[in-house]
Structure 1
Amino acid sequence: MTDVLLAKSPVKDPVADTHPWASPPLIPLYAASVLREKGYKTSFIDFNVAGGFKRKRLERILEKEKPRVVGVFTGTEEYLNALDITKYIKGKNSEIKTFLSGPHPTAMYNEVLKQPTVDFCVRGEGEYAILELVDAINNKSTSEYTEIKGVALKKNGDLISNPPNPPQKNTELPYPSRDLAPMKFYDFPGIVRTAWGGCPNNCSFCNVPTYRGRDYFARDPIDILKEIERLLFSYQHIRVIKFMDDTFSIDKDKLYELTDGLKKISPPFGWKWTFTTRVDKLTKKMAKEVSEAGCSTILVGAESGSQRILDSINKGIQKNEILEAVKKVINEGMDINVTFMYPLPEDTAETIKETINFMKKLKDLGANLILDFTTPYPGTPLYENSEELGIKILADSWEEYDAKHLLITSRYLDEKNLKKHFKKLVSEVGLNKMI
């Protein structure tokens, strides 16, 4: 019998066997560790891998585990599948308490809690809020629900959202419970966090501040190194460690302490690591240090090749900084992936042409280009201020919020013209992407 069953909702097709590019979802695995430390028997299932979401599979799990609480972690794209899971659970046993957590329930808790099969939303990174919620459910103390920071709930027909839960510092969280996850099924199992909290930047397309806030706490490098050693020696099929935080390089002193330690890790096989950073944080010294410490690839966000567009989305970078970042990384023998978004609210035919020319220049330098459709996630200025920005959201379903569909118009270009310019961009730059 299990006290708590935590689940990761599947993207798109709820009967898919696996999801390409899948990685262990660390947030529910951290939550599992916090619950287990308190003595709660906790299970975890990731419906993106190892069989996908099949109702018979969920039925077997419910019969075997008999959980009292089920929490489903979900973004926007997979939100409808998360609801399907809660509907099935409540249909089998209405006494089971359910909660949703993740970026979508954080931003859209008012809508989510209108669903009769969802009892609570845990907003933000709520590892300890989840623990408090499970404590309250276990104690059958409904009065405690309104005291738990980060929890939203229904009470006497009203929706109540408690004050937000502050992000946790690294010393307060145990390592994620990777032993509960099907590690052998992930394409990229070696995911590690280097910080808690959110991002201090103001990019208008990003939902990280809504979900995690703007406070940032860098983890102790020694603690990170211990976790990496544990990962590499426990799961010897892992050959790449990926640091998942966009804020990886903010604290350079801790970064260099980490790279010094990475040089000393020596499992009986070769391994590399990758990270994401901002171009305005990437110095020549940093490129040299991370390369010498075994970094193989750096990912940076360019988003547009027009300075006017970069300014309009509050990106806070200059075009020349993107060029210089690419040169620094290539000169140190590493790969660099550069992301772009299409379209952005102020895009015109001219700014798209600028972006095409800029992408070609980066490609000539040796950069790998990644192009995604701009996705107006709930909680972002793009979603909340779409009318003011002059854009139209084209999505008919939450499932389309996957960066693979044209989801917005720009202020100056309608859907038809954007599709025309997109085909030109793909053709001229030489990208393998269709619309």
Structure 2
Amino acid sequence: MDSQHEPVSDSATRTRPRITTPITADLLRGALDLERTAHGLQPHRLPAWARAQSPDGQLALAEAQPSGVRLVVRTRATTVELDTLRTKMAYQGAPPRPDGVYDLLVDGRLAGQASVTGGNVLTVDMANGSSQTQEGPVGTVTFTGLGEQVKDVEIWLPHNEMTQLVALRTDAPVEAPPQQGRRVWLHHGSSISHGSDAASPTATWPALAASRGGVELVNLGLGGSALLDAFTARTLRDTPADLISLKLGINLVNADVMRLRAFTPAVHGFLDTVREGHPHTPLLVVSPIHCPIHEDTPGPSTPDFSDLEAGRLRFRATGDPAEQAAGKLTLNVIRAELSRIVQQRAADDPNLHYLDGRDLYGAADFAELPLPDQLHPDAATHRRIGERFAALAFGADGPFTVQPT
């Protein structure tokens, strides 16, 4: 791998060269596409052909936020510097959102956290859906004191900030570490799977579950965009994986995009497409976690701006429970139908499984750890969901348990 050496002061008493290494696909995991920009590389979690099939700005933003994407190198470097250009979200009239976090893992263990400054700010007016972008400079995240031994270094990118990768500098050569033979877990879900309100990229519930399960994560959790889109199904079909999970339901309710008549064949079609590429892969369908505003009340959900100036955004359901009779979806309707569909198909597909999302977070959990905005779990709840998913999916008798050979 080509690199450039630049002498830089490393301490008060010595100088060590900085090595600039091109950021290439073999150094990245969790991204399905890399777009060359004027500044560097933009990781994407949907391929270009899929992005071209939807004009939705919400999806474009969600798939470009690199949840689960990490830069992985093997090196003796004691210092790692990564230049990035972030795009940070802001909401009109609300206090600034916290900076995105970069998690540093050394040989699989969290060894540091940092954020970058500068970058772009995308301000959204949730009252009318408009947005504007204020451009800013490239920033640098730096990790030092890593020790001179050979080690595997991972930098997990912020799950909630679009991140263009500009330059990688180290004080020792780097190489792409060999694949360790770990199984690849491909997961698709909503903003909860994306990591909304998680503390950091390795603290989203899928990242926590992947760590406990000893698997490589590819996270297609797409905030607001788990809508049974055909291009998402084809992306899952075409992505290599040893394990697949689909967490479906909440976005279909809070976006109010279909009725029960359309939902049932759409789920069948989604599963048919995934099975075209993965006919025998363990496939786990997960229904929604407990969410009181939509358990028996259809969508759409709408933002409640009453406490926005204090930094608190909440959501409320605007549907009428009586509309279920006309086919409007609620979480309980979706759970019942997903369970029925999986049971029906499992007769011919023994590797298809169902998990009730309330086993991950139910009514008792809501009483203890309520959803702060009525839709999204906080950091503590992400940990609980991740731990429970790992136990139920990767534990003894779970659908993702390693089968004896």
Indicate whether the TM-score tops 0.5. Answer: no
TM-score calculated relative to the size of structure 1: 0.32
Asked which structure has the greater RCO (Cα within 8 Å, sep 6+), the reply is 2
Structure (1 or 2) with the greater helix fraction: 1
TM-score calculated relative to the size of structure 2: 0.34
